[in-house]
Amino acid sequence: MAWFNAGLGSSGGGGGGSSSHNYSTNEQVVGTWIDGSTVYERTFVFESTVNMTTTWVSTPFSITGLSKIIDSTLWRIDCLGTIAHDTNVYNPGGVIRLSTRSNNTNLAPGSTLTIRYTKTT
């Protein structure tokens, strides 16, 4: 299991306080969706290169019981550094597939995909 901590909010003075968000490779509950469903989040780390030369590519990741993908963020590592991408994600037959606006590139090892979703169970 890996944790990634992102500090959010202000840090001190005027009653602001501080907050943080823990990104985990384990599934965690992060809230409630507008229909009352529990919202889960999980971050996947790419351990090998993924070729993004096609419109949709399969990942080695899956989520059992996934119902609705609410949000996703892809942090792509390549020769230019780390870049955030708007990512389209869907889950046909239990395999997470993704598409970005930056096709014809690769996702290097260490790139991450964070997904917020609801489940059927």
Write the pLDDT tens digit of every residue in 50-67. 777 666 777 778 888 888
pTM for the model: 0.72
The count of domains in the chain is 1
Q: Reduced to 3 states, what is the DSSP secondary structure of residue 109?
A: coil
For residue range 5-50, list pLDDT tens digits in order: 343 333 334 445 556 888 899 999 999 999 999 999 999 898 888 7
The boundaries of the domain holding residue 58 are 3-8+24-119
Say if 13 falls within a structural domain. no
In a domain, 108, yes or no: yes
Is position 29 within any domain? yes
Query: Within 13 Å of residue 52, how many CA atoms lie on the same side as its CB?
Result: 21
Residue 17 lies in a domain: no
Please indicate, yes or no, if residue 15 is contained in any of the structural domains.
no
14 in any annotated domain: no
How many CA atoms does the CB half-sphere of 2 hold within 13 Å? 9
Is the pLDDT confidence value at 4 over 70?
A: no
- At residue 76's C-alpha, the angle toward residues 44 and 88, to 5°, is 70
Q: What are phi and psi of 99, to 5 degrees?
A: -145, 140
